[in-house]
A and B are shown apart, each in its own frame.
Chain A
């Protein structure tokens, strides 16, 4: 089993719909992150969490919300999806000052 699992792997949704992307990890790490990747733009940080009671906005949090349900689970929600949120989304985990372990990504298309 993968250390970081994202579901779904692919999703097509309509403009205005609410959608949730889920992430779970078996690394036992406290820190979890959600990133968005667009072609040619690299990875942009959406939200991050240092522990269950900690949620922080990243560079591009507008239009997104998150929930840290447990140490191992961190979900990303788009309350009302719009086409420019079409992108590849990655969840990652790390410990304090260690490398980040990434999930396989969720390819989201908003039509």
Chain B
């Protein structure tokens, strides 16, 4: 069964600090991995996409990494802001049908 596991489940940091969120997956065959940001009560919005051949991809203060051999990804947030408070969801699509499998998300709270 395809699974996506995220850690930590929740994280509290101070404004201006960096943090790293983890994602492990067992989806096979692998097609791509996306990180989504979901603000409370709103639909998720895509931050980054990574395919098998990509190791790192940045989107402003967000940097995602992918190790396809160990089936792990991370999302690093630099110089956190209050607006970064949200749930961050790792989503892995399987090859062929591209049906996405969602992780449960990491809830990030940034305190002033």
**Complex: A107 Cα to B98 Cα, angstroms:** 27
**B42–A105 touching, CB < 8 Å:** yes
Is there contact, CB below 8 Å, between B99 and A102?
no
Other-chain residue from B43, B103, B105 in contact with A102 (beta carbon distance below 8 A): B43
B31 interface residue (CB < 8 Å to A):
yes
Task: Say if the beta carbon of A74 comes within 8 Å of chain B.
Answer: no
Q: Which of B91, B93, B104 contacts A40 (CB 8 A)?
A: B104
Chain B's nearest CB lies how many Å from the CB of A7?
14
Query: Does B58 reach chain A (CB closer than 8 Å)?
Result: no
B6, closest chain A residue (CB): A42
The CA-CA distance from A35 to B49 in the complex, in Å, is: 21
Query: Is B109's CB within 8 Å of the partner chain A?
Result: no
- The residue on B at minimum CB distance from A95 is B98
Given contacts A40-B104, A102-B44, A104-B43, contact A97 B89 (CB under 8 A): no
List the interface of chain B (C-beta within 8 A of A).
Answer: 9, 31-32, 34, 41-46, 49, 89, 91, 93, 98-100, 102-105
Contact B93 A97 (CB under 8 A): yes
Chain B residue nearest to A4 in the complex (CB): B43
Asked whether any CB of chain B lies closer than 8 Å to the CB of A70, the reply is no
Q: Flag if B31 contacts A102 (CB, 8 Å).
A: no
- Cα of A104 to Cα of B43 in the assembled complex, Å: 5
B98 touches A97 (CB 8 A): yes
Is the Cβ of B98 less than 8 Å from the Cβ of A43? no
Is the beta-carbon distance between A42 and B41 smaller than 8 angstroms? no
B43 proximity list for chain A (CB < 8 A):
4, 90, 92, 101-105
Task: Tell me the complex Cα distance, A90–B105, Å.
Answer: 16
Subset of 17 A-B contacts with CB under 8 Å:
A40-B104, A41-B104, A42-B89, A42-B102, A42-B103, A42-B104, A43-B44, A45-B102, A90-B43, A90-B44, A96-B98, A97-B32, A97-B98, A99-B34, A104-B42, A104-B43, A105-B41
